[in-house]
A and B are shown apart, each in its own frame.
Chain A
Amino acid sequence: MFSDFDFGVIWRALPYLFKEGMTFTLTLTAVATVGGVMLGTVIALLRLSSLPVLPKLAAGYVNVMRALPLVLVIFLFYFLMPYVGQWALRTSQPIQVGALSSTIITFTLFEAAYFAEIMRAGIQSIPHGQVAAGYAIGLTYRQVMSYVVLPQAFRNMLPVIFTQTIVLFQDTSLVYVLSITDFLGAASKVAQRDGRLTEMYLFAAAVYFLISFTASMLVKRLQARISIVR
């Protein structure tokens, strides 16, 4: 069964797997998390605002994104993005968007819908009395949000945000469908070239597991330390 298991294949592929593959995966995860949290916060604020139309639009965006499979969105955006760029910048030709930029934008827009829900819950976890107190001492909406509500909301939601980041980290493997060299893409290219699927896919699974598991243990410890402040 494991008689012809060849660890040498993994060993030789290590530099490629990590220098190219894992670098792409981690870059995408990090940038999309930061972008997603920022955009998600804006969407959450819009959704909770008393402005006309915008709360409905924000809710619509979140609901549509959450109803679609990521694989579909990855395909669609990879093909669509250059045309959106052309339309927005009014150029004569579609704008060139590289594989990394395209996937970063896709994941940011997609994950923003999930982060928006997390931030909405975070904002709503802050008692209304604090907001009222803020206004009472003469703070503006912007000041109340940036000095009173958002820092606490963010702090309370930190474990959930990290948990979502772990999900995002795993989801980045789906860029495989575009033949992009993320960690899984690199593993599968080596696997197919050398005919060593068993070794490479088991190794990829082990690496993803170790990273996600370690990260989720750290999140649990964080969760214990940050008890919700109200």
Chain B
Amino acid sequence: MNYHWNWGILLEPSPDGQGTYLNMLLGGLRWTVLTSLAAWAVALVFGSLVGVMRTLPSWIAVHLGGAYIELFRNIPLLVQLFLWFFVIPELLPHDWGVWVKHLRYGAFYTAVVAIGLYMSARVATQVSAGINALPKGQSMAGTAIGLTPAQTYRYILLPMAYRIVLPPLTSEFLNTIKNTSVALTIGLMELTGAARSMQEFSFHVFEAFTAATVIYLALNAVVTIGMRALERALAVPGFNAAR
């Protein structure tokens, strides 16, 4: 392979004045982690709401939840990202649109909303599967001891459901991390974007992308190990919902 490797490039200064190219990649890692965590929070909140809706004894709620899941599942993430970034601000009242577009970290907020909602459809599927995996007796017992439906969900069903579906949720969280890379298309300088940018400035294509690959593998390993420990600690004896 007649490519001139030079790993020393990582320690050379980058033109952004923030230090070396390695610093640039680590800066990208910081955005990847921040975006993943924020998007995951959005995904958990909306995913839980919709997941619960899917299990309510109301025809309308079930179908609204179903429509939500189908809508967010069947449009590619990149297209959803473009809709949030390019289209939605144009459909807002003029002043709001301008305000949104002038946000300093617009690409970050857009990525959090877009990736968060995209992932929420997947989280919703898991949450409703978790609730459905519980014996009917559990919610009946809740009603029997005088809990309102909200209380039944809050104190009985959801805590159990989350513990049961923790393993699939782990893999959805890992997907969230990977999906943040799509946000480079709207200018977010996350890890893949930083690697691309390093390649453009230094012309060392493979050092840049190999370094990013190693960082992704390390991040993946750290999250996996952490989540496995959490799964072991929270596993519900007798339930084996993990695929």
Contacts and interface: CB of A to CB of B under 8 A. Distances in A.
Task: Indicate yes or no for A touching B, C-beta below 8 A.
Answer: yes
Interface of A: 1-2, 64, 67-72, 75-76, 79-80, 83, 86-87, 94, 121, 166, 170-171, 173-174, 176-177, 184, 188, 197-198, 201-202, 204-205, 208-209, 212-213, 216
Nearest to B192: A72
A209 B76 CA distance: 8
B231 interface: no
Interface of chain B, main secondary structure: helix
A213 B74 contact: yes
B99 interface: no
Given A174-B78, A201-B87, A205-B75, A68 B216 contact: yes
Nearest to B205: A79
Contact of A72 (B79, B213, B220): B213
B91 interface: yes
B76 A1 contact: no
A72 to B, nearest CB: 5
B87 A198 contact: yes
A79 B3 CA distance: 11
Contacts of B182: 69, 71, 174
B215 to A, nearest CB: 10
Contacts of B86: 197-198, 201
A169 B90 CA distance: 28
A69 B179 contact: yes
B79 A212 contact: no
A204 B185 CA distance: 17
Contacts of A69: 177-182, 192, 216
B83 interface: yes
B209 interface: yes
B15 to A, nearest CB: 20
B78 A176 contact: yes
A184 B79 contact: yes
B45 interface: no
A54 B23 CA distance: 37
A179 to B, nearest CB: 12
Nearest to B181: A69
A198 B90 contact: yes
A83 B205 CA distance: 12
B217 to A, nearest CB: 5
Nearest to B216: A68
B1 A83 contact: yes
B70 interface: yes
Interface of B: 1-3, 70-71, 73-80, 82-83, 86-87, 90-91, 174, 177-182, 184-185, 192, 195-196, 205-206, 209, 212-213, 216-217, 220-221, 243
A67 B217 contact: yes
B79 A71 contact: no
Given A69-B177, A69-B181, A173-B78, 10 more contacts: A67-B216, A72-B213, A75-B192, A170-B75, A171-B76, A188-B82, A197-B86, A202-B87, A209-B74, A216-B70
Contacts of B212: 72
16 contacts: A67-B174, A67-B220, A71-B184, A75-B195, A75-B196, A75-B209, A79-B205, A83-B2, A121-B243, A173-B78, A177-B184, A184-B78, A197-B87, A198-B90, A205-B75, A216-B74
Nearest to A174: B78
B81 to A, nearest CB: 10
Contacts of B77: 170
B75 A72 contact: no
Contacts of B78: 173-174, 176, 184
A209 B73 CA distance: 9
Contacts of B220: 67
A221 B220 CA distance: 36
Nearest to A64: B217
For the complex of A and B, list the 5 residue pairs with the smallest distance between their C-beta atoms, beginning with the closest.
A69-B181, A212-B74, A67-B220, A170-B76, A69-B178
Contacts of A2: 91
A80 B213 CA distance: 14
Contact of A76 (B1, B79, B213, B217): B213
